[in-house]
Amino acid sequence: MSTKLTGYVWDGCAASGMKLSSVAIMARLADFSNDEGVCWPSIETIARQIGAGMSTVRTAIARLEAEGWLTRKARRQGNRNASNVYQLNVAKLQAAAFFSTVRF
């Protein structure tokens, strides 16, 4: 669990105009992540823990990936799917958190 990344999410993502469901997903991913931003929770786990549907989680993750907040790598175990590996964009999270707290 990375409390540093979780803090960046709460400080930066909401301030960037991100939808609440996406903020919740980023917070769960950050909570699962190590300090380098790597984690691999299943879509089902994320959906259950934030009280959203699996399609909502899939759509939000695709949007977060398109916006550069994270990258994902699909994994397979033989003929079975395994959870994706997610890499949060730590630099973008850190910058968003910094600019959300700076007063100009």
Q: What secondary structure, in 3-state letters, does 50-66 show?
A: HCCCHHHHHHHHHHHHH
The Cα 34–Cα 60 span in angstroms is 21
Per-residue tokens: 18: 């991100």
Q: Are 39 and 33 in contact (CB under 8 A)?
A: yes
Reduced to 3 states (helix: H, G, I; strand: E, B; else coil), residue 78 is: coil
* Contact of 39 with 27, CB cutoff 8 Å: no
Is domain 3-101 classified as CATH 1.10.4160.10? no
Specify the pTM: 0.88
Rg (CA), the chain: 13
- Return d(Cα 69, Cα 100) in angstroms, integer: 16
* pLDDT tens sequence across 46-100: 999 999 999 999 999 999 999 999 999 988 766 677 889 999 999 999 999 888 7
